[in-house]
Structure 1
């Protein structure tokens, strides 16, 4: 039972009844009415803004409108108290039986509690990671990978049909640099002394094995070829090797994509999807030949004051129009990106989410404008930017990796602290805030380590259920066995606080999914663990609050209801985030 959705419908029904009675005008937009937890729990269990958002259209004073709504709410069997706060907010206190029903529903649903049909099966494409296939993934890539995967898991749990996608940037100049770097390692594998890696090539040791594999496959064959001959061969070989390595890095975090889309595929096999996309925009009057004003500030080296093929991106909210062709006649990256997102739309994804690094922030407006244009306003792109990760050890910056040459690899971090710590901590902060990731602190067994604290709470619930089986072997602690327990004896303030918080989980899932913010789930789980552990600690001083009471089987069974529900919610939420829920902490 989602009590917030239930009472939102109830308030909407009251508004419609007041309209039918002629006390309010017709045509009121109830879509802005929300029911949510009050800011202060002392105000009650629920709060609604109905009177505030409808008063103007209803031509009423907010408090007067609130009085009309309250008049109807007072007769609701689930409401024990209702009053007005401030200029017209309505606060409701519910009868305890409402929360007892929530607990019983959650008990019956198990880890399915909180799952929503909000998405109604709508197709959503979540593209994330999309790191250039030129080397191993670094920790910054890891944040985008975890965020994107957690967001995909959250949307799936909320009823969306999610496709996870990786865009392989395999058509730019960087893959030619990769090929030349791999070719140098190939010559090294054949016994040639290559000396110091020239500037402009990738120096990392990760290419040593690629060179060795090239030597094993081709022998000396490539050394007698011109660069024009060996470059495409080595490039394809190196890209495949890098993508294999990236897939292995992602697999270490249990991240698997449904689609790997190659940028090169846009212009391969006799097709040119970029040209087709440009022509589509031209037919709609959105392409013209013209000159762009110089960008503000210092001019970039590649800026040219010349007539160009331009897209009218300002018609769709961008700051300036954008070039689609370079001076040599080749396409800009932007042109390829438009064609790629058009491909997403044509593959059945009007709703698209891209997860990018924060350094791409300046690219957001133009890409959102392009999606609006190429889809005739039918497509929508949400871009989530992930800020930097500062890697620390006991507060001190971590040195660069010998293997990568320039950064600490994601795999090194996963191997040291484990995938659970990486996944949970990467979403235990909003994606647009810089993240300090301390390798020492994320493995500490302390409340200050969120991933340990949440997993420990789950293990504590499992331990309680095991202990009951040992002390009271005849007690049926299954969901069915607990389903008919009387919960009215659970009246301590800490228990009531826990019940209130449990009831928020379905709403939390829907709100987090709607805003594309998986960090909300991580925050909720930490607070839920805190509520449970506070109640546990309270029982140390007050024996009557202990979870297991051998002298009162019915009270024990009542408490096992919320222990079981908390265990299932923790497992459910951790599962959404891709983190394990251990029954024991080792």
Structure 2
């Protein structure tokens, strides 16, 4: 059930009626026509821009067209009134019975309320986290993991077939550095003194890796040259780090559907196949790049190499894929990886990167467009930094990592629910302040607490009603008579509930899961407002002397709990049954 879709249908029928009688021309594009909540709730329940966007192509004045639409709109029994506002917007007030029926409809639908078929089963690959397997993940990775997981859940809720994917960066020089660092811990496990070179990974997390290596091979590699142990230690250490990463993600409630190894692209012909596909399109050529702006002539050496013509797809410059000596440029495995995604048949690709990857956006979009024949869109979400505070001071140090706060530190300090919700209270491209004290405080200024408290309040009402012998199962509540629900605070809560299906489709279309957190905060505020008014107005309390009246009011509260539970489920947060 989606009231906004229903009323949009009423508007579309009115437009069709005007076209049938010749008052409007046929063939008008109705795509820009919207039905949405008005900016000011005092103006009505919904508003449509139909007259504003159709007037010009119809050769009419917006207000004249709006006046013509109004009688047709109010002829529908679901619409009580329609008023023309401003240059031609139409504000609509719906029949009160619609709001009174909504809680019962929500309870009848249960978890299906708000779910959408918008995605039509399209296959979407969401790649996120993809931290280098060189150590434990930090707080920045936590934000990426939470945003990616919530986005995947949101898209699933909206009818898409979603794959959560982690790209293991195990093909570059950083994993050799990891191997050498693990080898130093292996030497320490044999009570040898070591010197840590600059750029190595001295965190305590490699101590158990060194011990495990000692248990596995004994002292065989102690005096062996690097060429004998490097590959084996690299694989051993990478696997150990990925086990650690999987454990940390699980602690946050994140589980990947697929892990893809960058190393699997090398020496297998997969990079060559991707590059050949671009060559066949005339998009790979032998040439030189212009000197970057700001570079001095003395600092720039012009060299010929194989280049991808990414400027043909909107990039700022063409990109190197292979050097003159035959080695692959950094971009080459990225091309092969995305070619693999295209070949796996995904309809959409979404990558979630840190803000430091901003320079890769245009080139990756260009190559996916080329490799897919412009069939598969790629959306790249960049995550801004998370700033940590405790006791009002910046919080930076982790004992385990040595230089940063790890994802596990975060989970251990505040729990996965608090971490997940708070990380989703801002857009991905906006910096986020995470204050360890504020995110756990019990106040309405803390959105995590405020939403959880709303759900817990409903749970407390249900417990008290059950103690009084009132039937509170959803089947019974869905049959309650809500015709007495006429107070403005109750109707405002019902109106906010009506926005849920529309919100899901907007958030899924824009790939913005933070919209769910914002909506839940607004819904919780409406519930708390109604609850607090009950202190002064007994008739608004959820438990009344009359059983039927109690059930009607509980039906409204229970509908709120259904939507909050669904929204928290998308965010990966467990609804609270009580607050301690």
Name the TM-score class by shorter chain.
over 0.9
Query: Where does structure 1 differ by over 6 angstroms across 4 or more consecutive aligned residues?
Result: 299-303
* Structure 1 partner of 2:127: 127
Cα distance, 1:170 vs. partner? 0.4
SS at match of 2:31: helix
* Structure 2 partner of 1:253: 252
Cα distance, 1:38 vs. partner? 0.4
Mapping of residues 143-154 of structure 1, within 5 Å: 143-154=143-154
Q: Is the 8 A contact 1:112 1:572 kept in 2?
A: no
* Structure 2 partner of 1:324: 321
Mapping of residues 65-464 of structure 1, within 5 Å: 65-195=65-195, 197-268=196-267, 271-298=268-295, 304-464=301-461
Distance 1:304 1:141 in 2: 36
SS at match of 2:352: strand
Q: Is the 8 A contact 2:274 2:335 kept in 1?
A: yes
Cα distance, 1:10 vs. partner? 2.0
* Structure 2 partner of 1:487: 482
CA RMSD in angstroms comes to: 1.5
Bigger shift: 449-458 or 419-428? 449-458
Bigger shift: 16-25 or 487-496? 16-25
User: Alpha carbons of 1:306 and 1:187: their partners in 2 closer, same or farther (altered >3 Å)?
Assistant: same
SS at match of 1:82: strand
Distance 1:214 1:159 in 2: 46
* Structure 1 partner of 2:523: 528
SS at match of 2:167: strand
Stretches of structure 1 that go unaligned for 5 or more consecutive residues are: none
* Structure 2 partner of 1:501: 496
Q: Is the 8 A contact 2:73 2:79 kept in 1?
A: yes
Distance 1:357 1:437 in 2: 17
* Structure 2 partner of 1:580: 574
User: Alpha carbons of 1:145 and 1:299: their partners in 2 closer, same or farther (altered >3 Å)?
Assistant: farther
Cα distance, 1:104 vs. partner? 1.6
SS at match of 1:126: strand
Cα distance, 1:559 vs. partner? 0.5
User: Alpha carbons of 1:443 and 1:300: their partners in 2 closer, same or farther (altered >3 Å)?
Assistant: farther
Bigger shift: 80-89 or 53-62? 53-62
SS at match of 1:56: helix
SS at match of 1:324: strand
SS at match of 2:26: coil
* Structure 2 partner of 1:33: 33
Q: Is the 8 A contact 2:105 2:478 kept in 1?
A: no
* Structure 2 partner of 1:467: 464
User: Alpha carbons of 1:407 and 1:243: their partners in 2 closer, same or farther (altered >3 Å)?
Assistant: same
Distance 1:141 1:303 in 2: 35
Q: Are 1:554 and 2:553 an aligned pair?
A: no
Distance 2:180 2:128 in 1: 27
TM-score using structure 2 length: 0.98
* Structure 1 partner of 2:510: 515
Distance 1:93 1:302 in 2: 68
User: Alpha carbons of 1:114 and 1:299: their partners in 2 closer, same or farther (altered >3 Å)?
Assistant: farther
Q: Is the 8 A contact 2:10 2:76 kept in 1?
A: no
Q: Is the 8 A contact 1:394 1:441 kept in 2?
A: no
TM-score using structure 1 length: 0.97
Cα distance, 1:298 vs. partner? 4.6
Distance 1:304 1:12 in 2: 63
Distance 1:206 1:280 in 2: 42
Q: Are 1:566 and 2:560 an aligned pair?
A: yes
Aligned length: 580
